[in-house]
Amino acid sequence: MGEGASDSQDRDPEGLGFATADTRFQCTICGECCQLEVFLTSADVERIRLSKDAKRYAEELSKRRSTLAAGEGKAACLFLRSTRCSIYESRPLQCRLYPFFPIAAEVLEASGLTMPDRAVRSVRGSTVYYFSIGQHCLGLGKGPIPEWESILSTWLQYVKEEEQG
């Protein structure tokens, strides 16, 4: 967990971390998040195909629903070069969200989880969302406080694209 992150997040009894109003984040370009599987929406694939840096991967992209390479040892994103994203401007929506991921309160409640009082929440229509945290991100506790509405908006775009196929 990033330096200073422990005082800017709460944990529920299951150990899931949630952002609080003072949670800070700044990417350290460590590449660790690029070791996670990222599920691509059809729109993600199209955005990547149109990017000048990814044209050579067009055929590969048409065969997959995630960015993980099937390589030896530690799995890594197809677009990871050293610790940098080679398609950063066209990166998938799931990557744009990391290390935050909004979860609907009703989903958390159905799982029997109690939300910490200080957890950041956002309301869209009649649905309340809480922002969970990728707890192993080295950028947590550094940099500015994120714009939560922007994160939620990106996530809602991801959900919409997933529903469209």
Contacts of 44 (CB under 8 A, 6+ apart): 92, 93, 94, 161
In contact, 115 and 11? CB cutoff 8 Å: no
Boundaries of every domain in the chain: 1-25+99-165, 30-90
Strand partners for 66: 39
Q: Looking at 5-14, 25-34, 39-48, 68-77, which range is the least confident one?
A: 5-14
Among candidate residues 30, 52, 17, the one with its CA nearest the CA of residue 132: 17
How do residues 68-114 score in pLDDT, each as one tens digit? 654 555 567 888 888 888 888 888 898 999 999 888 899 888 988 87
Task: Label residue 100 exposed, middle or buried (CB < 10 Å: 0-12, 13-18, 19+).
Answer: buried
Q: How many CB atoms lie within 10 A of CB 116?
A: 17
The whole-number pLDDT of residue 160 equals 87
How do residues 52-65 score in pLDDT, each as one tens digit? 766 677 666 766 66
The whole-number pLDDT of residue 99 equals 93
CA separation (Å) from 17 to 69, 143, 151?
Answer: 28, 18, 16
Using DSSP, state whether 90 is helix, strand or coil: helix
Pick 117 or 72 by higher pLDDT: 117
